[in-house]
Chains A and B, each alone.
Chain A
Amino acid sequence: MTPTEMTILSKADLLPDGDVSEAAMSRANIIGMSQAAEGAVLRPKDFGAFEHDLRAALAARVARLAADDTLAAHYLSSAGDKAILADPAETGKSYQLETVLAFVDKVANQTRDIDAEDVAQLQASGMADADIVRLCELVAFLAYQVRVIAGLRLMQGSAA
């Protein structure tokens, strides 16, 4: 894969030949594995209760909750008619995804307040344990990706 195909590098808008790109290339294995992880959570073969377009919409939602509209746009293009769910004001009621969206929002932005009851509510709504794990992985990966991109942008901004 080329740097432009690596979400972390392309969305951080790094100068191709700058010092920050050079540092990133010293960890090319990590950048590459991060891209593989994006594939694993956005487009898994075994997608369980969350089809690829829904995953893309949820990823865009988490990116928006992190105030990263550039990354949100990257995912929104794959969300199809689920794109409405990426709007943080959308409750998901008409899609019967209220519990899912409430959980996504809380894991993404009020992580410290999550408790056993939040997981129990998903179970009570009929969600399989495997799908709860899949949902956590998606949100958790986005939390990582958002922060790597934010950090690289800061590095780029301060580079001489």
Chain B
Amino acid sequence: MNQIIHKFTRNVPHWQPRVEPVKLAEATQEQLDALQVTPSNTKVSEYVLTLAHDVESLTVRTPLFNAIMYDPGGMSRAERELGALGASLVNRCIYCAAVHADRHAKLKKDTAITDQLFAYGDEAKLSPRDQAIFDFSRKSAEAPPAAGPEDMEALRKAGLSNEEILDLILSSALFGWANRLMHVLGDPVRQKGNS
């Protein structure tokens, strides 16, 4: 029996779907194209196989996700990860938070910020720039969205350019989307026999 994880962690859990993923052997050509399955690449995660049930959405979201998180220019990769984390903490998506805390720590070569976030949540004390980014992200992720003019002002005071602020809006909002897939359609689990 796999153990469901309820606490935030950087140790990325396995994601276990609550619905039956698409079976590769039964996938349509459109699904295979979206999954980028080729004779030399037949390894597809259960998450992607689950989302292949709605292949039109999957096909458009994958390049959109990559552009928001990885396209050059604008906000740094680590700060976009902080945007992703702000939303994932609000929505309590343990899986997303783990993946993106791990990426943030690796990009920064430092776990101090994500340690602080996991220990103190909304009360985390960060550098002025990271604080403005995290506060904007988490307030934007509230439902209804709760970021206000004072949060935008804090971003500008911290020295963020318009391009950086746009990237923050996008990365936080993107995780409003991703959290509602990962946290709803599956459980973060520690598989028996794994650490």
Using CB atoms and an 8 Å cutoff, list the residues of chain A in contact with chain B.
Answer: 19-20, 22-24, 26-27, 29-30, 33-34, 36-37, 39-41, 44-46, 48, 65-68, 107-112, 114, 116, 118-120, 123, 129-130, 132-134, 136-137, 139-141, 143-148, 150-152, 154-155, 157-159
Q: How many A-B residue pairs have CB under 8 A?
A: 177
B114 neighbours in A (Cβ, 8 Å): none
Q: For chain A, what secondary structure do more than half of its interface residues adopt (helix, strand, loop), or is it mixed?
A: helix
Contact A155 B19 (CB under 8 A): no
Q: For chain B, what secondary structure do more than half of its interface residues adopt (helix, strand, loop), or is it mixed?
A: helix
A141 neighbours in B (Cβ, 8 Å): 57, 177
A139 neighbours in B (Cβ, 8 Å): 180
- In the complex, A19→B156 CA distance in Å? 14
> With A27-B170, A133-B50, A154-B149 given, can you name 13 additional A-B contacts, CB distance below 8 Å?
A27-B167, A33-B67, A134-B54, A136-B181, A136-B184, A137-B54, A140-B181, A143-B177, A151-B169, A152-B169, A157-B152, A158-B156, A159-B162
The segment from B38-46, B68-76, B122-130 found at the interface with A is B68-76
CB distance from B67 to the nearest CB of A (A): 5
The answer, among A41, A129, A155, for a CB contact under 8 Å with B152, is: A155
Closest 8 CB pairs of A and B: A151-B169, A140-B180, A147-B173, A129-B19, A23-B162, A144-B177, A133-B53, A112-B92
The answer, among A23, A46, A108, A123, for a CB contact under 8 Å with B166, is: A23
Using CB atoms and an 8 Å cutoff, list the residues of chain B in contact with chain A.
Answer: 18-20, 50-51, 53-57, 59-61, 63-64, 67-68, 71, 73-74, 90-93, 140-141, 143-145, 147-149, 151-153, 156, 162-163, 165-170, 172-174, 176-181, 183-185, 187
- In the complex, A46→B54 CA distance in Å? 8
Contact B60 A107 (CB under 8 A): no
